[in-house]
Amino acid sequence: MIAKDIMSAPAITISPDATVLEAARLMLEHRISGLPVTDASGALVGMITQGDLMRRTEIGAVKRPSWWLRLFTSDGAMAADYARAHGRFVREVMSRSIIAVEETASVARVAELLDQLGVKRLPVVSGRRLTGIVSRHDLLKALIAAPTAPAPASAYSDAAIASAIRAAMADAAWIDQAQIVVVVAAGTARLEGRVSTTSQHLALRTLVENTPGVAAIDDRVTVGSSPA
């Protein structure tokens, strides 16, 4: 699944020549936290978000750094703060450093960027032309998409299931495989051994539950440090 499959389109956009007041009204009307800014050709030229409008002179929330902090702040940064607080037009307030994803970006890549950047939405482009918006909400579309039905448990041998569990454990950096014994009989995975924390125990169960062919778990794992 790719960004084009889950994005919201057409995106709600605003012109760089629109006023900041128009941008705020549009965000409120559509209950969104940001707007892509596009030129007359549909090319993406910026983004304006609620965060860009938090330090405004109209509401008396202009950021006023102390005199000593100004000594270490560049003229460019102070000028940008001034424009963001006083600018009347979107072009004066918008962020021009834009991170967008191509329509063909994988959903996994979209999720990674949303997490890394700490943002709620990303513009989707084809070349420079904006084609949609993908948000954290849109990721739910990928989550609820009907998965391919797994093969019945009877299609897997006990030996194959046990081997798959051990292979998955070997790839998991959060557990010591040598501390866990896995035995599979009639599709039931019996786990014995010890882990240090509850979170490791929960993750181990999750790993086993997601192994194809596992019908049930006989969990005999103990949690905590080994007795002295």
Which distant-in-sequence residues (6+ apart) come within 8 Å of 37 by Cβ? 13, 14, 15, 16, 44, 45, 46, 47, 48, 90, 91, 94
Per-residue confidence at 33, pLDDT binned at 50, 70, 90? confident
User: Of 61-75, 130-144, 147-161, 188-202, which range is least confident?
Assistant: 61-75
Average pLDDT over residues 145-159: 73
User: Over the stretch 42-100, which tens digit does the pLDDT of each residue have?
Assistant: 999 999 988 778 766 665 555 555 544 555 555 566 566 666 666 789 998 888 888 89
User: Of 149-158, 160-169, 197-206, 216-225, which range is least confident?
Assistant: 149-158
Q: What is the pTM of this model?
A: 0.62
Average pLDDT over residues 220-225: 90
Contact 80, 73 (CB under 8 A): no
User: Over the stretch 172-182, which tens digit does the pLDDT of each residue have?
Assistant: 999 998 999 99
For residues 179 and 197, what is the distance between their CA atoms, to the nearest angstrom?
A: 13
Strands 188-195 and 180-185: antiparallel
Share above pLDDT 70 across residues of the chain, in percent, rounded to a whole number = 81
Contact 98, 44 (CB under 8 A): yes
pLDDT at 92: 87
Residue 42 backbone class (left: φ over 0; alpha: ψ -120 to 50; beta: rest): left
Dihedral (CA of 88, 93, 96, 100) sign: negative
With a cut of 80, say whether residue 132 has pLDDT above it: yes
> Average per-residue pLDDT in the chain?
85
For residues 156 and 186, what is the distance between their CA atoms, to the nearest angstrom?
A: 10
| 223 SS3 class | strand
For residues 135 and 110, what is the distance between their CA atoms, to the nearest angstrom?
A: 9
Map out the domains of the chain with their CATH numbers: 3-144 (3.10.580.10), 153-223 (3.30.1340.30)
Q: Which residue has the higher pLDDT, 101 or 83?
A: 101
